[in-house]
Structure 1
Amino acid sequence: MPSFEVIGGNKLKGEITPQGAKNEALQVISAVLLTSEEIIIHNIPDIRDVNLQIELLAELGVKVNRINRHTCSFKADNVDLEYFASEAFRYKGGKLRGSVMIAGPMLGRFHKAFIPKPGGDKIGRRRLDTHIVGFEKLGTEFIYHSESSFFELKTEQLKGTYMLLDEPSVTGTANIVMAAVFAEGTTTIYNAACEPYIQQLCKMLVRMGANINGIGSNLLTIEGVEILHGTTHTMLPDMIEVGSFIGLAAMTQSEIRIKNAGLKDLGIIPEKFAQLGIQMEFQNDDILVPAQDSYEISTYLDGGILTIYDNPWPGFTPDLLSIVLVVATQAVGSVLIHQKMFESRLFFTDKLIDMGAQIILCDPHRATVIGLGRKHQLRGITMTSPDIRAGQALLIAALSAQGKSTIQNIEQIDRGYQYIEQRLNALGADITRI
Structure 2
Amino acid sequence: MNVFEVTGGNRLKGEIIPQGAKNEALQVICAVLLTPEEVTIKNIPDILDVNLLIELLAEMNVEVNRVDRSTCVFKAKDVDIDYLHSEAFRKKSGRLRGSVMLAGAMLARYKKAFIPKPGGDQIGRRRLDTHVIGFEKFGIDINHNQEDGFFHLSARELKGSYMLLDEPSVTGTANIVMAATMAKGTTTIYNAACEPYLQQLCKMLNRMGARISGIGSNLLVIEGVEYLSGTEHTILPDMIEIGSFIGLAAMTQSDILIKNVSVPDLGVIPNRFEQLGIQLEITGDDIHVPTQESYTIQKYFDGGVLTIYDHPWPGFTPDLLSIVLVTAIQAHGSVLIHQKMFESRLFFVDKLIEMGAQIILCDPHRAVVIGLGREQNLRGITMSSPDIRAGVALLIAALSAEGKSTIQNIEQIDRGYQHIDTRLQALGADIRRSQK
TM bucket, shorter chain: over 0.9
List aligned pairs for 1:21-420, cutoff 5 A: 21-420=21-420
Paired amino acid for 2:3: S
Q: Deviations over 1:118-165 (max 9, x none)?
A: 110000000001001100001100110123321110000000000000
Q: Deviations over 1:87-122 (max 9, x none)?
A: 211111111111101000000000000001111000
Count, aligned residues: 434
Paired amino acid for 2:220: L
Paired amino acid for 1:166: D
Q: Secondary structure of the equivalent of 1:353?
A: helix
Alpha-carbon distance in structure 1 between the residues aligned to 2:376 and 2:119: 39
Deviation of residue 243 (structure 1)?
Answer: 0.2
Deviation of residue 195 (structure 1)?
Answer: 0.1
Alpha-carbon distance in structure 2 between the residues aligned to 1:98 and 1:307: 30
Q: Secondary structure of the equivalent of 2:115?
A: strand
Paired amino acid for 1:7: T
Alpha-carbon distance in structure 1 between the residues aligned to 2:331 and 2:324: 11
Alpha-carbon distance in structure 2 between the residues aligned to 1:83 and 1:215: 33
Q: Secondary structure of the equivalent of 2:40?
A: strand
Alpha-carbon distance in structure 1 between the residues aligned to 2:210 and 2:34: 10
Tell me the TM-score normalised to structure 2 length. 0.99
TM-align CA RMSD: 0.5
Alpha-carbon distance in structure 2 between the residues aligned to 1:92 and 1:4: 25
Alpha-carbon distance in structure 1 between the residues aligned to 2:118 and 2:374: 41
Q: Deviations over 1:45-71 (max 9, x none)?
A: 000000000000000010000000000
Q: Secondary structure of the equivalent of 1:329?
A: helix
Paired amino acid for 1:289: V
Deviation of residue 86 (structure 1)?
Answer: 1.5
Alpha-carbon distance in structure 2 between the residues aligned to 1:11 and 1:364: 33
Paired amino acid for 1:376: Q
Alpha-carbon distance in structure 1 between the residues aligned to 2:84 and 2:407: 37
Deviation of residue 207 (structure 1)?
Answer: 0.1
User: Which deviates the most, 94-103 or 386-395?
Assistant: 94-103
Alpha-carbon distance in structure 2 between the residues aligned to 1:298 and 1:9: 26
Q: Secondary structure of the equivalent of 2:330?
A: coil
Alpha-carbon distance in structure 2 between the residues aligned to 1:65 and 1:361: 48
Alpha-carbon distance in structure 2 between the residues aligned to 1:295 and 1:30: 42
Alpha-carbon distance in structure 2 between the residues aligned to 1:82 and 1:384: 38
Alpha-carbon distance in structure 2 between the residues aligned to 1:62 and 1:40: 13
Q: Deviations over 1:274-314 (max 9, x none)?
A: 00000010011000000000000000000000000000000
Paired amino acid for 1:317: T
Paired amino acid for 2:314: P
Deviation of residue 377 (structure 1)?
Answer: 0.3
Q: Secondary structure of the equivalent of 2:41?
A: strand
Identity of aligned residues (%): 76
Consecutive unaligned residues of structure 2, counting only runs of 5 or more, are: none
Consecutive unaligned residues of structure 1, counting only runs of 5 or more, are: none
Deviation of residue 431 (structure 1)?
Answer: 0.4
Q: Deviations over 1:319-366 (max 9, x none)?
A: 000000000000000000000000000000000000000000000000
